[in-house]
Amino acid sequence: MTELASLEPELLPDGIRARFVDGVNGLRMHVLEAGYDVADRPCLLLLHGFPELAFSWRKVMVPLAAAGFHVVAPDQRGYGRTTGWDPDYDGDLQSFGMPNLVADASALVLALGYSSVAAIVGHDFGASVAAWCALIKPEFFRSVALMSAPFDGPPGPPVNGPDIHTALAALSPPRKHYQWYYSTRSADADMRQCSQGLSDFLRAYYHAKSADWPDNKPFLLAGWTAEALANLPRYYVMDLDRNMAETVAPDMPSDAEISAANWLTEKDLQVYTTEYARTGFQGGLQWYRCRMTPDINDQLRDYAGKKIDVPSCFIAGANDWGIQQVPGALEAMQSSACSQMTSSDLVPGAGHWVQQEQPGDVVRLLKKFLNVERSDG
């Protein structure tokens, strides 16, 4: 099989290069880099979420490099041009479990020639990986910035109680949780081969979770009950009889809205469309399957009671329902899960894709967290 080339330079802002790093915990990892041309810089490691890519960090990498860092963003296991992972639904699910994703990040740090990074920054599911990196290996990851997905600590002992999926299905109309749906065998094909076409699906999905969608006005939910979760948008708590492509299809933006969405141009969208047309979504969906598989997720209970003890911060869009999708998680992160949380900021004019929607604010907040007072470029 012909090896993939790295992402084409014309798709990237000036100052960012794409290359491969071999021998990363069994992966040939595709990475984007900025600030690579100056030796002995402290490293920042940026981890994307779903359905994203290293490309999702393109707007913040050069400004962070100008502040004095070697900035590295990989396509994580299951994504983009990184290879060496099992694409089969029935394949090696354990390799997508959180301990191995932490091992991926650690191996990349070593492969880059570092013994540690100044900060690991994670967005969406990448925030979960970043949090676990800082918790398990604080000597590697000396600070952590979490974006859009609060970390409320390791899971405690199992709690007996009503099954949330049964309770959601009993609502009128019946509903289902998106992470449960993402764990189903059909989810990849539902999205990859949807009737509206992959590009329109991704456009609608990104739009529906952005500040451009007028109904993204999050508020604190009463608790982890079916009735409370039913207040979440359909892209989080779906109609039982709809897949994700069908769920977001009614929210396809108009031509005028697309034209106004300069945070995600048609050229940008084409990068995502091309990559997911080639890989499908199953690699990323395996992460959700691990979260929903007790034998794998329960491994994390070994860390119950342990906190993130390195300096931390949280950044999210003010219009991001992700900060409220797990009732109490934001408060637990701030009060107990992170012992040195220095700031928690909600960015106006941003939904879930905060580093793409409002990159200037994200750079400013990250530089403040990293105690960088000025930029050289």
**Domain boundary pick from 258, 284, 310:** 284
> Residues 134, 99: one domain?
yes
Which residues are within 8 A (CB) of 126 and not within 5 positions of it... i.e. 6 or more apart? Answer: 46, 47, 48, 49, 52, 76, 147
293 falls within a domain:
no
- Please state the domain count of the chain: 2
> Residues 146, 242: one domain?
no
> Residues 98, 60: one domain?
yes
4 falls within a domain:
no
> Residues 19, 124: one domain?
yes
Residue 170: pLDDT over 80: yes
> Residues 247, 314: one domain?
no
Outline where DSSP puts E strands in the chain. Answer: 16-24, 27-34, 43-47, 70-74, 119-123, 144-147, 175-177, 237-239, 312-317, 341-347
**Which of 179, 289, 297, 293 lies closest to 232, judged by CA?**
179
> Residues 279, 189: one domain?
yes
> Residues 34, 130: one domain?
yes
Give the β-pairing of 341-347 and 312-317.
Answer: parallel
Q: What mean pLDDT value characterizes the chain?
A: 96
Residue 11, both tokens: 């798709």
> Residues 152, 264: one domain?
no
Q: Which residue has the tokens 């989810």?
A: 187
> What per-residue confidence (pLDDT) applies to 297?
87
| Overall pTM surpassing 0.85 (yes/no) | yes
Give the domain range for residue 38. Answer: 9-157+302-369
> Residues 224, 317: one domain?
no
Express each pLDDT in 48-72 by its tens digit: 999 999 999 999 999 999 999 999 9
**Domain boundary pick from 225, 256, 284:** 284
pLDDT-derived band of residue 339, with 50, 70 and 90 as boundaries? very high
99 falls within a domain:
yes
Express each pLDDT in 135-146 by its tens digit: 999 999 999 999
375 falls within a domain:
no
Distance CA 154, CA 202 (A): 32
209 falls within a domain:
yes
168 falls within a domain:
yes
Distance CA 97, CA 116 (A): 22
Q: At 160, phi and psi to the nearest 5?
A: -75, 135
Sequence letter at residue 45: L
81 falls within a domain:
yes
DSSP 8-state class, residue 280: -
> Residues 147, 197: one domain?
no
